[in-house]
Amino acid sequence: MTYEERLKRLLGNNDPFWYTTIDNFVKATYEDEVQGISDLENLAKDSVKFNEFTRQIIQRRDDLKSVKDEFFREENINVEEISKKLVLDIQNLDDDIETSISALLNRKLDTKTMFKIDNLVIGKLKEVGLYLNFGEYENQRVGLPFNIPFKKGYIQNIIISSRIYNGKYGKGSIFSDVVEFKLAGGNANVRTFISFCIDEKIKDKATLECSIPFNLSEEDIIEVNKLLNEIKSKYQPYDVEVPRSSIPEYLKYTDLNINGIDYVVNSNDEILAKLRILIKCELANQTLSKSYDALINIEEK
């Protein structure tokens, strides 16, 4: 909608006097007429204030700048706090709700400030395993992304490190059997590998790796996030690990990294078992085992 159309809609009539009066005010006090009409639309939400504003621009037509200063005084905008609140609002959205940053903000701010807020929101969402899923609107977000509709999308980076002891070299024989899982939208990838430290038959190959891409249903994505939230509520991040000197006790735990935050989880925990199934750890290990068997057979021939 053009500036002229927005001004006519704001006034709700075709009175040329008020159209000209408001138009003169905008052009005399704003470099950007779009910002001017946005401020007026926001002010018009309070009919008492807007009526007083129109009275003042008639009475003080020779000093319109002072009218602008009185009614549109620049706020001290804390973009950091605004972004934090928006992230909380997005976290609380139902998965099927479609909205935009501007709609959630429910206030008019200048474009420069909105870009700052949008960038901060995207960064903070990554920290909590979320992103803005623009879907069919993806190609439009290069313009004004804070006006583009989105749904809440999930992104997760999980590393499960099972502790392994091969018994040959004392405390130095403790290694990790690692499975990495990445999720963005419905696109998932699980990766695992065997190190020569764990199995000497691999010898100079150093690492044998397997990576499997797959899709997760919306129900499975919700379940993965539910399980991760259960782990976060049950275990404290960066909890003190069992000392390596107590090897049998040390091996009872699994190291779990969720989006950069480390947890130490009981290896027999049912939550961990369910998570392994959902992110296809067993499929990755089976596929890796086939590659391992093929490699060893070649080595032994």
Name the percent of the chain lying above pLDDT 70: 80
pTM across the whole model: 0.51
Both 124 and 51 in one domain: the answer is no
Give the pLDDT mean for 197-216.
65
DSSP element (H, E) containing 194: strand 187-195
Domain end marker among 132, 149, 166:
149
> Greater confidence, 184 or 228?
228
Both 8 and 144 in one domain: the answer is no
* Each residue's pLDDT tens digit, 98-111: 999 999 998 777 78
Domain count, the chain: 3
pLDDT surpasses 90 at 292: no
Both 84 and 137 in one domain: the answer is yes
Both 170 and 109 in one domain: the answer is no
The token duo for 257 is 């990294």
pLDDT surpasses 60 at 294: yes
Contact predicate 145/138, CB 8 Å:
no
Count of CB atoms situated within 10 Å of the CB of 249: 11
* Each residue's pLDDT tens digit, 44-53: 888 888 899 9
Domain span at residue 112? 79-149
Give the pLDDT mean for 177-190.
79
Domain end marker among 149, 171, 190:
149
Both 192 and 262 in one domain: the answer is yes
Q: 188: burial class by Cβ within 10 Å (0-12, 13-18, 19+)? A: buried
Domain end marker among 120, 149, 178:
149
Both 87 and 66 in one domain: the answer is no
DSSP element (H, E) containing 255: strand 253-258
Contact predicate 193/210, CB 8 Å:
yes
Both 112 and 129 in one domain: the answer is yes
Q: What integer pLDDT is reported at residue 15 of this predicted model?
A: 78
Give the pLDDT mean for 126-150.
85
Torsion of CA 33, 35, 39, 42, to 10 degrees: 120
Both 245 and 197 in one domain: the answer is yes
Both 167 and 286 in one domain: the answer is yes
Both 47 and 116 in one domain: the answer is no
* Each residue's pLDDT tens digit, 224-278: 888 988 998 898 886 655 555 566 676 788 888 888 888 988 989 999 999 999 9
Both 253 and 172 in one domain: the answer is yes
Closest by CA to 34, choosing from 6, 11, 13, is 6
Both 266 and 288 in one domain: the answer is yes
